[in-house]
Amino acid sequence: MVKGRTGQRVRLYVRGTILGYKRSKSNQYETTSLVQIEGVNTKEDVAWYAGKRMAYIYKAKTKSSETRYRCIWGKVTRPHGNSGVVRAKFKSNLPPDSMGRKVRVFMYPSSI
Amino acid sequence: MAPSSKLSQGIKKASRSHAYHRRGLWAIKAKHGGAFPKAEKPAAVAEPKYYPADDVKPRKASTRKPKPTKLRSSISPGTVLIVLAGRFMGKRVVFLKQLKSGLLLVTGPFKINGVPIRRVNQTYVIATSTKVDISGVNVEKFDDKYFAREKKKKATKTEGELFDTEKEATKDLPQFKKDDQKAVDAELIKAIDAVPDLKTYLGARFSLRDGDKPHEMVF
């Protein structure tokens, strides 16, 4: 994706799945999305990820800045429930067709 | 009862001449050559032409000074850091010192993994517990000004040359920067060679694999 990125591909992000929007039974709040991060299964584990940046990457038909890939940046805000699901806010709300798709959870801003 | 200075309301006991003598103004006059000293009136301020419509308090300049960036306790000179983003993401790199701006001064070393002497932000870095002996390296000369961008000189161009701007953008590293790199790295590489496997470790890039959980990893 990045021009000139030859050689080793390194993954410095954790994969996550977008589950949908924050919602109750019949109301949804699109400003906050829910994300399931791989390997994170409890509320305590989420603490490490709080504040970490995330990127939702998608393809579009037209090229903008030489590439067809586009990105919406966001960050992990807080845990959602007890089982490791995470709430996330993005710069602009995620589109509904992002549900079920992947998001990249980066390891920065790092505090280790 | 002490003698009062009033006989009745508005009538003083001492006569005018008696009071004058008592006050001693004659002595002050004598001291100043016969005339009572007059205080100089301050020069009358010319009436300003315009008055502000509202009474506005002048804004005070802020006296706030930002604190120097705190260096994480896990980072000390010689620590191996993992760069998390940017051109060198995943590279393991040696920390040299923290600059005044708060950024970390870091080097590959260049021969080992291609990372030059560079600045990196603390939040984009994971500190590992591996340390390199950095005592032989002199990093005094590096500061933020060393990394400042060179100002482009705007030469006036003829019409034909106006469209040749692309050709000017070559960024040749000045020789002194290459020499600085070699000087810093020479000492470092000696220290690195002394430790078994450290060279290959620094040459390898960090990557997450399937099943890796960063929140459970100890770096």
Entry pTM: 0.73
- pLDDT tens readout for residues B79-102: 999 999 998 999 999 999 998 888
Give the separation between CA A106 and CA B157, rounded to whole angstroms.
Answer: 46
Q: Residue B45 is inside which H or E element, if any?
A: none
The pLDDT, as a whole number, for residue B1 is 61
pLDDT digits (tens, 9 = 90+) for A8-66: 788 999 999 999 999 999 999 999 999 999 999 999 999 999 999 999 999 999 988 88
Which residues make beta-bridge pairs with B19? none
The SS3 assignment for B86 reads coil
Reading phi first (left if > 0) and then psi (alpha if -120 to 50, else beta), residue B200 is in alpha
With bands split at pLDDT 50, 70 and 90, how would you rate the model's confidence at A3?
very low
Judged by a CB distance cut-off of 8 A, whether residue B132 touches chain A is no
CB pairs under 8 A between A and B: 61
Q: Between residues B156 and B201, which one has the greater pLDDT?
A: B201
Query: Which tens digits make up the pLDDT trace of B122-177?
Result: 999 999 999 988 888 888 888 888 888 877 766 655 555 555 555 555 567 788 88
Label residue A1 by pLDDT band (50, 70, 90): very low
Q: Rounded CA gap, B24 and B195, in Å?
A: 96
In percent, the amount of chain B with pLDDT more than 70 equals 89
Q: Is the Cβ pair B126, A110 closer than 8 Å?
A: yes
Given a cut of 60, whether residue B16 has pLDDT beyond it is yes
For residues B3-16, average pLDDT: 81
Taking an 8 Å cut-off on Cβ atoms, the answer to whether B84 and A107 are in contact is yes
Predicted local confidence at residue B215, as pLDDT: 92
Q: Is B33 on the interface with A (CB under 8 A)?
A: no
Of the candidates A20, A38, A33, which has an alpha carbon nearest to the alpha carbon of residue A88?
Answer: A33
Q: Which two tokens stand for residue B154?
A: 């705007």
Query: Any idea where the domains of chain A sit in the sequence?
Result: 13-106
The pLDDT, as a whole number, for residue A94 is 95
User: Residue B145: its pLDDT value, please?
Assistant: 86
Interface predicted TM-score of the whole assembly (ipTM), two decimals: 0.85
How far apart CA B216 and CA B86 sit, in angstroms, is 24
Which pLDDT value is given to residue A41? 93
Q: Which alpha helices (H) appear in B74-211, and where do they start and end?
A: 110-113, 175-194, 198-203
Is B157 strand, coil or helix? coil
pLDDT tens per residue, range B181-198: 888 888 888 888 888 899
Nearest CB to A10: which of B90, B126, B212? B90
Closest residue of A to B212, CA-based?
Answer: A39
In CATH, the architecture of B79-148+175-203 is Roll (2.30)
A40 to chain B: nearest residue by CA? B213
Task: Name the residue ranges covered by the structural domains of chain B.
Answer: 79-148+175-203
Q: Cα distance from A22 to chain B (closest Cα, Å)?
A: 24
Name the residue among B41, B93, B43, B102 with its Cα closest to residue B70.
B102
Q: How many CA atoms lie within 13 A of A24 on its CB side?
A: 2
The architecture that CATH gives domain A13-106 is Beta Barrel (2.40)
- Token pair in block for residue B105: 């001064």
pLDDT at B164: 55
Instruction: Compare all CA atoms of chain A with the CA of B219 and give the residue at the minimum distance.
Output: A112
How much is the pLDDT for A4? 47
Say if the Cβ atoms of B124 and A13 lie within 8 Å.
no
The reply to whether residue B126 touches residue A112, judged by beta carbons under 8 angstroms, is: yes
Contacts of A111 in chain B (CB under 8 A): 72, 123
